[in-house]
Structure 1
Amino acid sequence: MSLRPRDMPKLRDQTLRHLDDPTSNLRAKTGDENATGLDGLASHLRVGGLYWVAPDMAALAMSSGSQLAAARWATADRPTPCGLIMFDGGIGHFDARGVQIPIEACAWGPYEGECMLWLLMSRRRLVAEMARANLRLDEEQAPPLLPVHGFTVPVTTQPAPLADLDPSVPLPVIAALAASWLLMQQPNLIDRTRERPDKSVRRSYARAGREDPEVTVVDLRRQYVPDTADPDSGRDGRHYRHRWVVSGHWRNQPHGPGQSERRQTWIESYVKGPDGAPLLSTERVNVWRR
C-alpha cells in the first residue's frame, strides 16, 4: 500500500523517536559531524507544519522549478517557519557517489540566521529498491523517513541564485521545493484541503495532550480554467494578425502594500493575439489538462 497524506503525523512521530534516541542507528552510526544537523531536523519536525503535494502539483513544481534561476528562503517565503513536505511520486534524486537516491520529502527550519533544509526518502521506497537487488532491510532499525542530505541556504532580502548553492545540492530538487513554496501562494492555481490522520493517531495525540494533527494537501485546482486573455494586450499599441501560445513562465509580479514588493508568480500558458485571428501552428504543442 502506498503512503497517504493521513500517514504523515505517524511517519513524523516515528522518525522523531529515532532522532531522539542516541542509541538508534540513525544517531549512533552517522558520525558526530552530523549531530548538529540531525538535532536541527528533530526540532523542526517537532513543531513544523505538515504538507502533502499531489502528483500533478509535484509535476508542476518540477517543471516550473526548472525555469527558476533564484529563490528566497526567508520565513515569509515559507508556508510555515518550520515544516515537512512530502511529494507524491518524488521530486528527483540526490547523487551519492554515483548512486541515485530518490528524494520524496523535504524538511526546513531556521538555523543560525539561515534556513536549514533536509532531503529525505521513505523507508518504504528503500525497502522496495533493496528488494530489486535481493537485499533486505531491518526495518525496525530505520526510521520511516530517512535523512539523505542536509544543508543550509542563505536568508536574503533578494532572491539568491540557485547556481551559487553548494555543488553537492541537487539543483532540480531544490528548485522544485522553491517553486512549490511559490505556487502555494497562488490561490487561483491550487486547492488546499485538510486531512486528519486515523482515529488511533488522534487518540494517541489526545492522551499526550497534543493538538489533533492535520495535513495540508496541495493540488492543482480541479475547476481551474486557464486564462486565455493576453495580460500584455494594448500596452505597447501593437496590433497582431495572428494568435499564438505563450508557454507557462515565472513573472516578477508586484504585490503587498501599494504593490511595493515583488514576488515570483507562475503565469499559466495562455493564447496571445486578437480573438478570431488564425492560430499560428508550431512543430510541437504540449497541452496539460487536469
Structure 2
Amino acid sequence: MFTPIEFVRQRAAMIDQLGRADPTLIFHNTSFLSDVTGLDVDDLDSDGRWLCEEQRNALIAADMYLFTPELAECARQAMAQLGPGEHLDLDPLPPGAVFAFTEPVRHPGGTGGRLCSVMLPMTRLAFANKDNPEAPPLQTSLLSYTLRSDLLAHVRDRIAAGVEVDHNRKAEAALLERSTPWRLIGLEVAHHAKEFATWGMLLRCAVTFARSPGIAQTVRAPIPRGVARAAARAAAPVPDTGIRVVDLRSRPATVPREESEESGRTLQHRVIVRGHWRHQACGPNRSERRLVWIDQHLRGPERAPIQGTERVYFGRPPH
C-alpha cells in the first residue's frame, strides 16, 4: 500500500536523486530516449541528463494526488467501455501535477506484467520521430514509474518460485544497490492518443472521475500524529502534506427515496447510476412535481465491491 507519507518522502528522494544526475539513472533515461528516437544510447548522454532535469523540475512544482484502489477500479471499468470518439469527452491531463495510486495498476493493454504506481504528465518534452525523421517531433505526454519496492517484491517472488533464479538474483542485487525509489518504465507520446490501451488514457479516466462530484471526493491527506504533536508543542502551524487523496464518495447517511422504495432486493455491490432528470415530488402532500437534475452517483452498500455495468458515464448536467 502506497501511503501519503511514503509519497511525500519518495517524491523528495526522487527530486534529490535527479538533481545529483546519478550515472545509473541517466543511463536508464537514455535507454528510453533510444527507444523513442532510434539513436544509440551512447549518443544520448546529454539528452539523458536533460530528461533528469526536466523530471526534477516537474516534480518540484507538481501538486500531488493519490488515487485509491476503488477510484482506480472505476477508471479501469470506464476505460474498457469507451466507444469510438468517447475519449474526447474525457478531461485532459492537468499540467503541474503528479499522480500516484495506493495500489499499483496493471498496464491497460494487458501485455506483460508491467505495474505502474506513479504517473507524471509532461508537456515540454519533444523528440525526433525515429519512424519518420522528416516528421514533426514527438510530444511526450506522460512518464510512468513503478516503485522499487514493488520490483523487489516481484523479483523475490520469482526467486522463491524457482523462475530464472540466477537472473533474478542479479536483478535483486541491482535493485538493492539503487537508492532511487521510482523506476521509469514508460514514456508515452502524443501519437498514442489514438490508442485506448495506455496508462495515459487510464489516468484521464481517473481524473475525469475525480472531477465528478457525485462519484468522487478529494480530501487533504492527514499528517502523522507525531508531526501534529510536535507542531502543537512548538505552537507552530500544523504543516500540510500537500497531497490530495481522491476516493469514491462515501454513501450518504440517509438513503435516497428512489433507492429505499425498491422491490425489497438488497444490493450486495455498488453500481454507478448515470446522471438523470427526475420529477421530484414537492409541495403540499407531495402533490406537485419539480424537474431536478440528479448527479451521477454510486448506489449500493458502503465499501461493497463495484460491479461492472453496461456503460459508465462521465456525464454532467445538460445545459
Q: Deviations over 1:65-91 (max 9, x none)?
A: 2223554699x844x522111122222
Alignment of 1:94-173 (within 5 A): 99-111=112-124, 116-134=141-159, 135=169, 136-137=172-173, 138-153=175-190, 162=193, 164-165=194-195, 171-173=197-199
Q: Structure 1 residues 42 and 94 mapped into 2: Cα distance closer, same or farther (>3 Å)? A: farther
Checking the alignment, whether the CA contact within 8 Å between 1:116 and 1:151 is kept in structure 2 is yes
Checking the alignment, whether the CA contact within 8 Å between 1:192 and 1:217 is kept in structure 2 is yes
Q: Structure 1 residues 231 and 143 mapped into 2: Cα distance closer, same or farther (>3 Å)? A: same
Give the gaps of 5 or more residues in structure 1.
155-160, 204-210, 235-245, 260-290
User: Residue in 2 aligned with 1:238?
Assistant: none
Q: Given residue 70 of structure 2, which amino acid in structure 1 is its aligned partner?
A: D
User: Residue in 1 aligned with 2:276?
Assistant: 231
User: Residue in 2 aligned with 1:20?
Assistant: 19
1:44 CA drift (Å):
1.4
Q: Deviations over 1:202-233 (max 9, x none)?
A: x9xxxxxxx84321111111115787698378
Q: Given residue 231 of structure 1, which amino acid in structure 2 is its aligned partner?
A: H
1:142 CA drift (Å):
3.9
Checking the alignment, whether the CA contact within 8 Å between 1:121 and 1:148 is kept in structure 2 is yes
Q: Structure 1 residues 139 and 82 mapped into 2: Cα distance closer, same or farther (>3 Å)? A: farther
SS in 2 for 1:186: coil
Q: Deviations over 1:42-85 (max 9, x none)?
A: 221111111111111111111112223554699x844x522111
After TM superposition, what 4+ stretches of structure 1 lie above 6 angstroms from structure 2? Answer: 225-230
Q: Given residue 213 of structure 2, which amino acid in structure 1 is its aligned partner?
A: P
Checking the alignment, whether the CA contact within 8 Å between 2:29 and 2:52 is kept in structure 1 is no
Checking the alignment, whether the CA contact within 8 Å between 1:58 and 1:88 is kept in structure 2 is no
Checking the alignment, whether the CA contact within 8 Å between 1:26 and 1:142 is kept in structure 2 is no
Q: Deviations over 1:184-218 (max 9, x none)?
A: 111111121111444679x9xxxxxxx84321111
Higher helix share: 2
TM-score normalised according to structure 2 size:
0.58
State the distance in 1 between where 2:188 and 2:80 align.
20
Q: Given residue 276 of structure 2, which amino acid in structure 1 is its aligned partner?
A: P
Q: Structure 1 residues 200 and 21 mapped into 2: Cα distance closer, same or farther (>3 Å)? A: farther
User: Residue in 1 aligned with 2:5?
Assistant: 6
Q: Structure 1 residues 140 and 221 mapped into 2: Cα distance closer, same or farther (>3 Å)? A: same
Checking the alignment, whether the CA contact within 8 Å between 1:196 and 1:213 is kept in structure 2 is yes
1:147 CA drift (Å):
1.1
Give the gaps of 5 or more residues in structure 2.
31-43, 127-138, 160-168, 231-238, 260-272, 280-308
Fraction of identical pairs, as percent: 14
1:36 CA drift (Å):
4.0
User: Residue in 2 aligned with 1:195?
Assistant: 221
State the distance in 1 between where 2:210 and 2:218 align.
9
Q: Given residue 217 of structure 2, which amino acid in structure 1 is its aligned partner?
A: D
User: Residue in 1 aligned with 2:296?
Assistant: none
